[in-house]
Homo-oligomer: A and B are copies of this chain.
Amino acid sequence: MCTAVSYKTKCHYFGRNLDLERGYNESVVITPRNYELKYRYEKSQKLHYALIGMATIVNDYPLYFEATNEKGLSMAGLNFPNNAHYYEYQNNMENVAPFELIPYVLAQCASVQDVKELLQSINIVHCNFSDGLPVSPLHWIIADGDSSITLECIKEGMRVYDNPFGVLTNNPTFDYHMMHMNNYMHLHEGFSKNQLQASLPLFNYSLGMGAMGLPGDFSSSSRFVKAVFVKEKSYCKGDEKESVNQFFHILQAVAMPKGCVLAHNGDYEYTRYSSCCNTDTQVYYFTTYENMCVRSVDMHSIGLNDSKLSSYPID
């Protein structure tokens, strides 16, 4: 389970909580322009936009959890179990494996508009990375500084939704979250108003009662609602340090402390890392469960024309 957020102050920020019960040896990975991106069905991209994000490198291939490219376009994959459905190979389409999708898109698109166009010719193929790494059930949020979309492959076909909330969590499908959100539109940061009956002696015994009804459990539908609330009500004058700090506070509000969420295997799922990329400058910030100090990697700290992956351990 995860929560991804797109947030704008003076700059645009994109990041996520990764909620899992175990790690995958993930690290911050920069894919420079000349690293050859090889694909299962499509021909490789030798020159492309550089990317930065969190990834597990397997056989020198960056399996990105989320990433941002040098044009400021970002994309994150989030768990979408039982709903994600990938398709058979199709002629006349660009056939892309789920684990290839983030690099495939970010390598060539500079904006959400570009992505929308590209997606018209893409077919996402059910394809394992390897025997040991079977296909993951995912859906994606793709964002630039102006807008966000959600991409979902379900049995009925591929769906591309405008995502005006700039938030993605997990199940159910995105149309559910959008509809469900209407149940919370009355919530606000201020004092609760007596609309029941003016003559009754009702009062605010606490600050914050205007948000009474905001869910606080860790299910994906509740995290969606809370993340939208906290992000939308978020106050930040907006220089870099404040914005990044505020972004991590938003993510903390929907983070999973260890012990609060049981996974299918009996272990606890918790927020292993939180990330925040300034998509204008491509500086990637992160914290981990064990270390809440904000650390960063600047995409421009390496030569973007390199041909080898650079990776930075997070622990």
A: residues with CB less than 8 A from B are 1, 82, 164-165, 170-172, 175-176, 178-197, 199-222, 225-226, 228-230, 232-236, 241-242, 245-246, 248-250, 252-253, 255-264, 268-269, 287, 289-294
Bound CA–CA A215/B209 (angstroms): 12
A179 B181 Cβ-Cβ under 8 A: no
* Majority secondary structure of chain A interface residues (helix, strand, loop or mixed): loop
**In the assembled complex, which residues on chain B have CB atoms less than 8 Å from the CB atom of A191?**
262
Q: Determine which of B1, B187, B188, B221 lies in contact with A183 in the assembled complex, contact meaning CB atoms within 8 Å.
A: B221
Name the distance in Å between A184's Cβ and chain B's nearest Cβ: 7
Name the distance in Å between A287's Cβ and chain B's nearest Cβ: 7
**In the assembled complex, which residues on chain B have CB atoms less than 8 Å from the CB atom of A189?**
259-262, 268
B186 A179 Cβ-Cβ under 8 A: no
30 A–B contact pairs at CB < 8 A? A1-B206, A180-B180, A182-B209, A183-B209, A186-B210, A187-B217, A189-B261, A189-B268, A196-B229, A196-B232, A196-B233, A200-B232, A205-B221, A207-B218, A207-B261, A208-B217, A209-B219, A210-B262, A212-B219, A214-B216, A214-B222, A215-B216, A236-B259, A241-B290, A245-B289, A246-B257, A249-B258, A252-B252, A253-B257, A292-B292
Bound CA–CA A176/B203 (angstroms): 14
- Contacts A212-B213, A213-B217, A215-B215 known; 16 new A-B pairs at CB < 8 A: A171-B205, A178-B201, A179-B205, A183-B209, A185-B195, A186-B193, A186-B210, A188-B196, A197-B233, A207-B219, A207-B263, A207-B264, A208-B222, A209-B219, A214-B215, A214-B216
- Which 8 residue pairs across A and B have the least CB separation, nearest first? A216-B216, A235-B259, A208-B218, A293-B293, A211-B217, A185-B202, A188-B195, A214-B217
A186 B207 Cβ-Cβ under 8 A: no
Bound CA–CA A207/B1 (angstroms): 8
Bound CA–CA A164/B189 (angstroms): 28
Q: Determine which of B175, B218, B230 lies in contact with A260 in the assembled complex, contact meaning CB atoms within 8 Å.
A: B230
**In the assembled complex, which residues on chain B have CB atoms less than 8 Å from the CB atom of A245?**
289-292
**In the assembled complex, which residues on chain B have CB atoms less than 8 Å from the CB atom of A171?**
205-206
